[in-house]
Amino acid sequence: MNGALLRRFTLGLLLLTLCVSEVSPQGFTGCPPCWRDASVMAGHGADPGDTRRLINVRIDSTFGNQTPANVWNATCAGTQTAGCSNVTGPSAIKMWDDVSTYYKLRLVQDSQGSDDATDIQITQDSSWDSKKGCSYSTQTGQRVPDPERPGATLLQISSRVIHLPPGSQNWSQEQLACILGHEMGHVLGLGDVKKGCSTSIMNQNHSGGRGCSTGCPRSQVSNGDVQSVNQQAGNRAGCNKGSKPVSRIVDGGYEDPNPYRYYPTCYYYYEAVDLWYCRWIMSDGTCHPEFPPEYLGTIYVLRDVRCY
Ligand SMILES: [Zn+2]
């Protein structure tokens, strides 16, 4: 046994399948669709002088000690946070704050204060593959019985993260603002739009095969987006989108049993991820036989992937 190969106190992930049945739509028929089975953000009380619920956005350190200008500006230009108010051009937070939803977003980079806990984190993945599209968001939490929908379950979300690929700091502020605005729409409870409501921020990025640095032209949030966010925040049980049956997940990646990554379609799905604690991880990634994996629990992830 080579001691150098042992990694203690490390979580090993074993990945598993979950299928959740579709619930038929009722009530709300708006576009974009909103999630009936994703929990609503509690936020941090109302903004003084503004009745909206405060939501904290944070750009994490994956972008480096100093956030690249385009990422920073595309996130918060024109909003009240220091370093944002003096910056011009479109930004995702301003896009959402310019309209009347239940939420008021703000950039809060230091998450230590009493009202400063992060609600929406923006991160840059160190590696990326084409299955991830140009950006995606993950909403992670436990599945619990839904108090508002007897017999159904609710994803009680504890973490909301927007992911960007390596190199995204080189996209234009306009492109980044549109893409971040789209992902924030997911985090605020919206699903993708594949056809219809053409002005929605939830329409897919159409670059025509020219990659991720172009093709997201929107600089504002539509009335339909506002109605759908408010439907989700105010009465999510009436929303028109539920979970999909989903992908089988294989170790280290995702295998879509029904691959429909064809332009302009995107896919999104729930995953159930079983967490296992492995005391000794061997060099081949397995647990040492004397210390079999210990089951810690299952987390659930609502993951969106947008396409090229
Ligand atoms: Zn999307």
User: Residue 241's pLDDT is what?
Assistant: 85
Among 28-42, 87-101, 237-251, 292-306, top mean pLDDT goes to 87-101
Rounded to the nearest angstrom, the distance between the alpha carbon of 217 and the centre of ligand 1 is: 15
Alpha carbon distance 303, 248 (integer Å)? 14
Rounded to the nearest angstrom, the distance between the alpha carbon of 5 and the centre of ligand 1 is: 40
Rounded to the nearest angstrom, the distance between the alpha carbon of 38 and the centre of ligand 1 is: 15
Mean pLDDT, the chain, integer: 78
Rounded to the nearest angstrom, the distance between the alpha carbon of 9 and the centre of ligand 1 is: 35
Is the predicted pLDDT of residue 255 greater than 50, yes or no? Answer: no
Rounded to the nearest angstrom, the distance between the alpha carbon of 168 and the centre of ligand 1 is: 17
Rounded to the nearest angstrom, the distance between the alpha carbon of 285 and the centre of ligand 1 is: 33
User: Residue 21's pLDDT is what?
Assistant: 25
User: Residue 143's pLDDT is what?
Assistant: 78
Rounded to the nearest angstrom, the distance between the alpha carbon of 136 and the centre of ligand 1 is: 7
Average pLDDT over residues 114-118: 93
Rounded to the nearest angstrom, the distance between the alpha carbon of 184 and the centre of ligand 1 is: 9
248 three-state secondary structure:
strand
User: Between vectors from CA 268 to CA 243 and to CA 64, what angle results, nearest 5°?
Assistant: 125
Rounded to the nearest angstrom, the distance between the alpha carbon of 134 and the centre of ligand 1 is: 10
Is the predicted pLDDT of residue 133 greater than 60, yes or no? Answer: yes
Q: Which of the pair, 152 or 223, is modelled with greater confidence? A: 223
Rounded to the nearest angstrom, the distance between the alpha carbon of 94 and the centre of ligand 1 is: 19
Residue 246: both structure tokens together: 């989903």
User: Residue 108's pLDDT is what?
Assistant: 97
User: Residue 148's pLDDT is what?
Assistant: 94
Q: Which helix (H) or strand (E) holds 276?
A: strand 267-278
Among 68-77, 126-135, 152-161, 278-287, top mean pLDDT goes to 68-77
Rounded to the nearest angstrom, the distance between the alpha carbon of 303 and the centre of ligand 1 is: 9
Rounded to the nearest angstrom, the distance between the alpha carbon of 115 and the centre of ligand 1 is: 29
Rounded to the nearest angstrom, the distance between the alpha carbon of 48 and the centre of ligand 1 is: 32
Rounded to the nearest angstrom, the distance between the alpha carbon of 223 and the centre of ligand 1 is: 18
Rounded to the nearest angstrom, the distance between the alpha carbon of 291 and the centre of ligand 1 is: 41
pLDDT by residue (tens digit) across 168-186?
999 999 999 999 999 999 8
Rounded to the nearest angstrom, the distance between the alpha carbon of 173 and the centre of ligand 1 is: 19
Rounded to the nearest angstrom, the distance between the alpha carbon of 86 and the centre of ligand 1 is: 30
16 three-state secondary structure:
strand
Is the predicted pLDDT of residue 268 greater than 70, yes or no? Answer: no
User: Residue 77's pLDDT is what?
Assistant: 98
Average pLDDT over residues 69-85: 97
User: Residue 219's pLDDT is what?
Assistant: 94
Lowest mean pLDDT among 76-90, 133-147, 210-224, 236-250: 236-250
Query: For residue 125, what pLDDT band results from cuts at 50, 70 and 90?
Result: very high
Per-domain residue ranges for the chain? 3-305
Average pLDDT over residues 116-132: 88
CATH 3.40.390.10 assigned to 3-305: yes
Alpha carbon distance 79, 96 (integer Å)? 11
Lowest mean pLDDT among 10-14, 224-228, 257-261: 10-14
> E strands within 61-174?
103-107, 120-124, 136-145, 153-164
Query: For residue 137, what pLDDT band results from cuts at 50, 70 and 90?
Result: confident
Residues in the chain: 308
Counts of helices then strands in the chain (DSSP H, E): 4, 10
- Name the CA dihedral angle for 203, 227, 57, 79, rounded to a multiple of 10 degrees: 100
Q: Tell me the CA distances in angstroms from 85 to 51, 81, 105, 285, one per residue in order.
A: 21, 6, 14, 48
Rounded to the nearest angstrom, the distance between the alpha carbon of 302 and the centre of ligand 1 is: 12
Residue 72: both structure tokens together: 């920073």
Alpha carbon distance 95, 75 (integer Å)? 10
Q: Given the structure tokens 């603002």, which residue do they identify?
A: 177
pLDDT by residue (tens digit) across 2-60?
333 333 322 222 222 222 222 234 578 899 999 998 999 999 988 778 889 999 999 99
Query: For residue 80, what pLDDT band results from cuts at 50, 70 and 90?
Result: very high
User: Residue 299's pLDDT is what?
Assistant: 62
Is the predicted pLDDT of residue 144 greater than 80, yes or no? Answer: yes
Rounded to the nearest angstrom, the distance between the alpha carbon of 160 and the centre of ligand 1 is: 14
